């Protein structure tokens, strides 16, 4: 008589499968460029069971609702944004956070299709690693170029290559508008400065803080 063998399913029943949370995060800049309501609806359609949201500028470091959203996540869970810039202040913070979440087994997805670490599977760490390397190279090159520009302008009494120095009032306005979450194009429209000048002012401020 044959000994009966225990029946095993190739795949677990739906009720036996691990349940992972899908958490959304929405952010509206202080200048209300992207409606918070539109983001919330899009995140709900993407399957988010809970959506954390707040109105803060892109330059604001204090984001209590974002921290609260991250605090609810466990291994296997997923955080969803409509776009990556809704969750992160800059490229460096974005890459560092993606790496941290990846190490914890937490997935990241954007509804615009930019990234989906769950779908990437085993390729996710490789893709994030490449982003990290490229981001660091770009950052170091920008800092080096900007520092050289600052040093040369100091040596020439504030004039680089004959280009007139932007007055302090306009520089202060650029930094204030950027802190409030305005885009480069919006700042150009409000100040009349070229995009290259706006980028230089913002990057120089970052370098001076870092140095």
Average pLDDT of the chain is 76
Reported as type and span, the H/E element at residue 67 is helix 64-71
Does some domain include residue 108?
A: yes
Closest CA to 25 of 92, 97, 91: 97
Same domain, 45 and 122: yes
Total domains in the fold of the chain: 2
Q: How far apart are CA 193 and CA 166, in angstroms?
A: 9
Beta bridge partners of 23: 50, 79
Closest CA to 200 of 148, 136, 154: 148
Does some domain include residue 68?
A: yes
Of 3-7, 79-83, 94-98, 125-129, give the lowest mean pLDDT range.
3-7
Domain that holds residue 206: 166-211
Q: What is the mean pLDDT of residues 194-208?
A: 76
Condensed to tens digits (0 to 9), the pLDDT of residues 27-48 reads 987 666 568 889 999 999 999 9
The last residue of a domain, from among 111, 131, 151: 131
Q: What is the mean pLDDT of residues 51-72?
A: 87
- In this structure, the dihedral spanned by the alpha carbons of residues 133, 138, 139 and 142, taken in order and rounded to 10 degrees, is 160
Same domain, 50 and 114: yes
**Is pLDDT above 80 for 87?**
yes
Contact 106, 73 (CB under 8 A): yes
Same domain, 77 and 22: yes
Q: How confident is the model at residue 184 (pLDDT cuts 50, 70, 90)?
A: confident
Does some domain include residue 150?
A: no
Same domain, 55 and 115: yes
Same domain, 113 and 207: no
């Amino acid at each position: 008589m044959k000994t009966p063998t225990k029946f095993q399913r190739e795949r677990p029943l739906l009720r036996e499968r691990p349940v992972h949370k899908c958490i959304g995060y929405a952010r509206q800049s202080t200048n209300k460029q992207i409606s918070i309501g539109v983001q919330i609806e899009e995140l709900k359609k993407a399957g988010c069971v809970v959506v954390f949201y707040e109105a803060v500028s892109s330059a604001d470091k204090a984001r209590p609702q974002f921290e609260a959203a991250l605090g609810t996540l466990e291994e296997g869970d997923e955080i969803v944004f409509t776009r990556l810039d809704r969750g992160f202040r800059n490229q460096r913070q974005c890459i560092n956070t993606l790496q941290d979440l990846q190490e914890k087994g937490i997935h990241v997805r954007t509804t615009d299709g930019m990234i989906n670490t769950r779908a990437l599977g085993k390729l996710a760490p490789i893709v994030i690693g490449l982003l990290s390397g490229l981001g660091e190279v770009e950052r170091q090159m920008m800092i080096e170029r900007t520092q050289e520009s600052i040093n040369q302008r100091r040596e020439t009494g504030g004039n680089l290559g004959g280009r007139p120095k932007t007055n302090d009032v306009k520089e202060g306005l650029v930094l204030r508008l950027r802190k409030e979450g305005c885009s480069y194009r919006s700042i150009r429209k409000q100040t009349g400065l070229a995009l290259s000048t706006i980028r230089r002012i913002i990057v120089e401020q970052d370098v001076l803080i870092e140095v």
